[in-house]
Amino acid sequence: MSETLEELFLSKCRSSPNGCLLWEGNQNSRGYGLMYVPVAIDCGSWLSNHRMVLAHRLAWFLGNGSFPEQCALHRCDTPLCVNVAHLFDGSRKDNARDMVRKGRAPHSKITPLEVIEIRAMRTHATRAEIAERFGITVDHVSKVTSRTRWSGVGGREGEGCFYGWRKISPRQVIEIRTRHAAGEAFASIARDIGVHARTVSRIAKGQTRRTVRS
């Protein structure tokens, strides 16, 4: 029997003494869990078009049957926690206020690599989704994608060239190969990882990063 979305999700979690359910899968640069939803799993129209999802947002979906209106916020202040009881539905304004209160300003700094990833994600994700993933405001995302900020980073064609292969983590190498083996196109994987499709192709085929094994 094929694995359900909930079973796959729970297989990547572990309980902690303080009641948090901690995510042990992929993470983004801000310390929040990320889950790739395999194409083989039927999970509704929204998830079919958004295969890489923040783990705590997916937890909310599994627990409540729908995604939060805007943001899923943590009561426990543990980014990797996916215990639905520790989450609450809030607005982007609530999210910004919560980040300030906890010392994570909404205009937190991003790196050049994250700038490239943000621009790559804009082809398949909304500004609000990108903002929540990186812990910045929607306005900040707009300025990055329109090149009002960080205009000197990347080129309009093949922005992924900024990534040297050393910048792709071993975990991402394994993810690339796993997703390719499942039949996903190089371009789709490249958009999620934030690199050029040619880079994904070389990694998936074992032409580079041969020492990384799952």
How is the chain split into domains, by residue range?
1-90, 106-159, 163-214
CA dist 189 and 123 (Å) reads 13
| Pairing of β 26-27 and β 33-36 | antiparallel
Q: 79: closest CA among 132, 33, 14?
A: 33
Average model confidence (pLDDT) across the chain: 76
Query: What pLDDT shows up at residue 80?
Result: 93
HSE-CB of 56 using CA atoms within 13 angstroms: 30
Q: In 3-state terms, what secondary structure has residue 106? A: coil
Residue 156 has pLDDT above 60, yes or no: no
Query: What pLDDT shows up at residue 99?
Result: 64
Residue 59 has pLDDT above 60, yes or no: yes
**pLDDT tens column, 15-54:** 999 999 999 988 877 788 988 876 555 555 445 455 678 8
User: Which runs of consecutive H residues, i.e. helices, occur in the chain?
Assistant: 5-10, 44-49, 55-64, 92-101, 112-121, 127-134, 138-145, 170-181, 186-193, 197-204
Write out the two tokens for 65: 């049957």
55-64, 80-89, 157-166, 174-183: range with lowest mean pLDDT: 157-166
Calculate what percentage of the chain has a pLDDT beyond 70: 76
Residue 124 has pLDDT above 70, yes or no: yes
CA dist 103 and 10 (Å) reads 30
Query: What pLDDT shows up at residue 46?
Result: 47
Write out the two tokens for 140: 């900040």
**Rounded mean pLDDT, 169-194:** 82
- Run of H or E residues at 71: strand 71-74
Q: 126: closest CA among 71, 179, 79, 89?
A: 71
Residue 104 has pLDDT above 60, yes or no: no
Q: How confident is the model at residue 211 (pLDDT cuts 50, 70, 90)?
A: confident
95-109, 113-127, 144-158, 163-177: range with lowest mean pLDDT: 95-109
Residue 106 has pLDDT above 50, yes or no: no
Residue 131 has pLDDT above 90, yes or no: no
- Run of H or E residues at 13: strand 13-15
